[in-house]
Amino acid sequence: MVGTTHGIKTMSVAFTDMQTTAIDTIRGLSMDAVQTANSGHPGTPMALAPVAYQVYNHTMKYDPAHPLWPGRDRFVLSCGHASMLLYSMLHLTGVKAVDHDGNVKNEPSISLDAIKRFRQIGSICAGHPEYKEAAGIETTTGPLGQGVSNSVGMAMAQQWLAARYNTSKHKLFDYNIFALCSDGDLMEGISTEAASVAGHLGLPNLCWIYDDNKITIEGGTDLAFSENMGLKFEGLGWHVLHVDDANDTAALAKALESFKACTDKPTLIVVKSIIGYGAPNKQNTHNAHGAPLGWDEIALAKESYGLPKDKTFYIPEGVMEHFAENIGARGKKSYEEWQKVWESFKTAYADKAAELEAMFSGKLPAGWDKDIPVFPASEKGDATRNSGGKVLNAIAKNIPFMIGGSADLAPSTKTNLDFEGAGDYLPDNFGGRNLHFGIREHAMAAICNGMSVSGLRPYGATFFVFTDYMRGAMRLSSIMHLPVIYVLTHDGIGVGEDGPTHQPIEHLSACRAIPGLNVFRPGDANEVAECYKTALLISDHPAAFVLSRQNMPTFDRTKFAPVSGCSKGGYILAGGSEKPEVILMGTGSELSLCVTAYEKLVASGVKARVVSMPCLDLFMIQPQAYQDEVLPPSVTARVACEAGIQMSWDRFIGLKGRFVGMSSYGASGPFEQVYAKFGITAEAVEKAARAAMAS
């Protein structure tokens, strides 16, 4: 077979015996694991075994003995349903396991026993690859499009690190990102968003390998998909190559070399493959995609490969040694060379090396919080988006590896970093700390995940209502325990004139429903500062900051409780000296309504209490004794006030409590009038409190 690939001549050549055996071993392990589990996707690993082989064994700069080495190339299996392809590669290449602290252990990351227990409870070989479950899994994939979008963040992180830390004598960061993706990945809208970002920036270290197999679960892709993907990506600013046969490792090698030679844009390699390759009755059909082949078909496939049909999980003699002689030896040499550069860098640039060591270890540098402002009491106050911007700048100035941006809304979200040296991340300046995601909210969130797994502390900002577009990636940041920060302004009906389409109503409950996502809705400027301090100290959970467009008072902390209570998620703001008759709970701009109602109740002789609840998630993990101290169980007269739906509050207000908030969409008009129209006022809170006491 002869073809051309944008000037690259491709020709199928005979495999060496050991190369053929190694590739077919990948196929055999994948088929056997899926069949043993009676669940999974065998066809893609069978088709793409030569691609994974070529990338790992002959292309990547990767040391299996040091899988967390910062200078390594990264491989992302975006088509996560083909997870056995990745698990087989990690086992055969001898990738070592690491402990919780990142120390290398003298045992395999993926053992053969783990592969035999594919998709079973307790096995690290989950149905889709899960970040940190095993060394060599660079990010969690499965929801299609997320992995390739993460890879853009990884590539951006490498370019940023290179711009900030590489010197003429110290090339610490010059690694590449390889992402293997499917038709399904590229059908998802998020992948086009992310590809557009990568093409605009011209990321030369990013290579997507597209498995163009023309098959989906329902049948041929022509049922719903007829794009010319190569032409599309050329329009997005990518370097596009074609390989006509996934089994042609020589053509794959030439395409990968062409990627490395391209210095001004990302690369897409379109590879034609046959799903279920070698299974005579099921190859090139959707029957090879999402279900086990059956032992009889597997036996026939093994015969076509020249593998013994009666052996399962079979690794022929010499296969692992073959990988050790290639990726193992090459990776060892690259790692040792990098270590020498790193030692020299530490001597020459001790301060910058300390920054990197903090980043590598997931820690914050000393003094990161020293410039966080304390805001004076003010009846007029300020919008929390404004105070949030000041706090964000004060923190980022002292965390050199904190970078972020917004989906074309920085002037509104107040998230631009304006201190000296921040700069903009642009095609001609990869060292900038202000990112411009364009109107691409979903890709923004996924790119932030990619930067986070690369060691940076990223943030992404937009209007709160647009979390509808971001939810898939936000959920994955929580699954992966990544400390990504989401700055989400224009937090409710206070958006006012923009009306119902831009007024988030159900969004607080929707975000709080994501396990592990800490949702902060601070009630004044100093709560903003304290919530940021709290969130930054939590390195294993993402945080969402839900901030207002409209002003709210800044409380006088000589009159009200210290703001340090925010670190517990909820605290007694006022009325804590005696057992209350009624408890008023609020967040954000509605907290001041609770305070006004409290003052009226107290003036009339009612023993009232105000509880600020900036983060319900953190409050719920406090000791029960603390929760009972703040919300005494015997006090059933309770009112919660929030310009959203009631769903989040039922567990706090109980059966006898009252809720002042929204039960419908909003309306267009000045925000004060919108609040009045829907009855979210201090008077309504007071009335609800008296009704609760009377019930």
CB 489 within 8 A of CB 461: yes
CB 631 within 8 A of CB 611: yes
CB 427 within 8 A of CB 201: yes
d(CA 590, CA 453): 36
- Burial label for 446, CB within 10 Å (0-12, 13-18, 19+), is buried
Q: Which among 129, 145, 115, 30 is positioned nearest to 442, based on CA atoms?
A: 145
d(CA 165, CA 155): 15
- Give the CA distances from residue 261 to residues 181, 239, 265, 415, in Å, rounded to whole numbers and listed in that order: 22, 11, 10, 37
d(CA 218, CA 108): 37
Q: Which among 36, 143, 49 is positioned nearest to 87, based on CA atoms?
A: 49
Alpha carbon 593 to its chain's center: 36
Q: Which residue type is seen at 276?
A: G
Query: Would you state the structure tokens that stand for residue 392, as one six-digit string?
Result: 């964000």
Give 429's contacts (C-beta < 8 A, 6+ positions apart): 163, 423
Give 492's contacts (C-beta < 8 A, 6+ positions apart): 464, 503, 504, 505, 548, 588, 589, 643, 644
Angle at 645 between CA 639 and CA 649, to 5 degrees: 45
Q: Which residue has the tokens 């349903």?
A: 81
CB 311 within 8 A of CB 298: no
Q: Which residue type is seen at 19?
A: Q
287 membership: H or E segment, kind and range: none
Partners of 571 in the beta sheet?
612
Query: Would you state the structure tokens that stand for residue 347, as one six-digit string?
Result: 């001597």
d(CA 639, CA 656): 9
Active site residues: 441
What is the biggest distance separating any 2 CA atoms in the chain, rounded to whole angstroms?
Answer: 92
CB 242 within 8 A of CB 6: yes
d(CA 566, CA 563): 6
609 membership: H or E segment, kind and range: strand 608-612
Q: Which among 502, 585, 506, 596 is positioned nearest to 549, based on CA atoms?
A: 502
Q: Which among 415, 408, 491, 398 is positioned nearest to 459, based on CA atoms?
A: 415
Query: Would you state the structure tokens that stand for residue 458, as one six-digit string?
Result: 């990223």
CB 203 within 8 A of CB 238: no
CB 36 within 8 A of CB 73: no
